[in-house]
Structure 1
Amino acid sequence: MTKLDINSAANMQKLGACLAKTAKPHDLLLLNGDLGAGKTTMTQGLGRELGVRRPVKSPTFTIVREYREAKLPLFHMDFYRLEDDDLSSIDLEGYLDEPGLVVIEWPQLVMSDLPKEYLQLTITRVDDSWDSTKRVVEFNAQGKRNEQWVKDTLAEYNKE
């Protein structure tokens, strides 16, 4: 499993931008990490790189935020508040069928409903002070496309 040390919110956004540069239609990005780990910060960098002009905010209370105006449509989902693992109000299959990028925070609640191929990132705080921006990001790629996505993303991250 590949790991990357992140030392600032700016570097977390940079990682998001590198993921966006190397993303392809129908990619699925799963983000794990405690509250405040940097999942939305990463997605903000991703959105900015894709050309989203409005603020990329956490979809905690709306479950899904759509950014169709991006170069690659971005569908940002947060299942933290999903009640009883009930996906009936969300057309998850419809989003996965669209030629965009689906980003899911708190995917563990819906893993049985997801495709077998995805890129999963786990973000862990390095220390326990609330204002620390040090993180370790672990990459778990399922499938050849996602293994290549990790390689391309890290190459992009390291060249900047």
Structure 2
Amino acid sequence: MKKFRSNQVEDTQALAKAIAALAYPGLVITLTGDLGAGKTTFTQGFARAAGVKRRVKSPTFNIMSQYEGSNWPLYHFDAYRLENTGAQDQGFEDFLGTDGVALVEWPQYMADILPNDRLILDFKRLDGDDQREITVTGQGRAEKIEQALS
């Protein structure tokens, strides 16, 4: 487990860029934290670093948005609306651990279909407006990404 401090949006997006440089097809990244903790900001920086040209926003209504990156597709999930229904039988399994990278906000609502092999990012707001602590934990193959971060 590694902890990073973000004092501004650019710090969060710099971490996203570093992780995107280490990402590989099949990687699942889960993003936990309260509303406004920086999950979508991270995703926007990750997408930009992965070569996504379209504007990235939280796919709350659609639950999943797909973007074409330079090397692989990016699947961005916002599972918040699955709180009462769960993710089984929704077809989301077809996008996890496959040809692209999946970023999953509110992963607790998709826990029943998420692979154990993943990178876990936990966002915590600190005292300042833009100050965050981001904890990165790799499981399985994704542990190499955690170890490579400085």
Fold similarity call, TM over 0.5: yes
CA contact (8 A) 2:27 2:97 kept: no
Greater helix percent: which structure? 1
- Render the CA deviation track for 1:71-96: whole Å, top value 9, x for unaligned: 22100000111252332563221102
Single out whichever of 80-89 and 5-14 deviates more from structure 2: 80-89
CA contact (8 A) 1:16 1:42 kept: yes
- Render the CA deviation track for 1:21-56: whole Å, top value 9, x for unaligned: 110110000000100100000000110011111101
Moved runs in structure 1, 4+ residues, more than 6 A? Answer: none
Aligned match for 1:142, one of 125, 135, 139: 139
- Render the CA deviation track for 1:134-160: whole Å, top value 9, x for unaligned: 0001112211x21111122x24xxxxx
Q: Secondary structure at the match of 1:146?
A: helix
How many residue pairs were aligned? 150
- The AA in structure 1 aligned to 2:28 is L
Matching residue of 1:87: 87
Question: With structure 2 as the length reference, what TM-score do the two structures score?
Answer: 0.92
Question: With structure 1 as the length reference, what TM-score do the two structures score?
Answer: 0.87
- Render the CA deviation track for 1:50-74: whole Å, top value 9, x for unaligned: 1111101111111001003442210
Change in CA separation of 1:20 and 1:52 when aligned onto 2, cut-off 3 Å: same
CA contact (8 A) 1:16 1:43 kept: yes
**In structure 1, how many angstroms separate the alpha carbons of the residues matched to 2:65 and 2:134?**
24
**In structure 2, how many angstroms separate the alpha carbons of the residues matched to 1:25 and 1:40?**
20
Change in CA separation of 1:3 and 1:69 when aligned onto 2, cut-off 3 Å: closer
- CA shift at 1:12, angstroms? 0.6
Matches within 5 A, 1:1-160: 1-87=1-87, 90-127=90-127, 132-143=129-140, 145-152=141-148, 154-155=149-150
Unaligned runs of 5+ in 2: none
Unaligned runs of 5+ in 1: 156-160
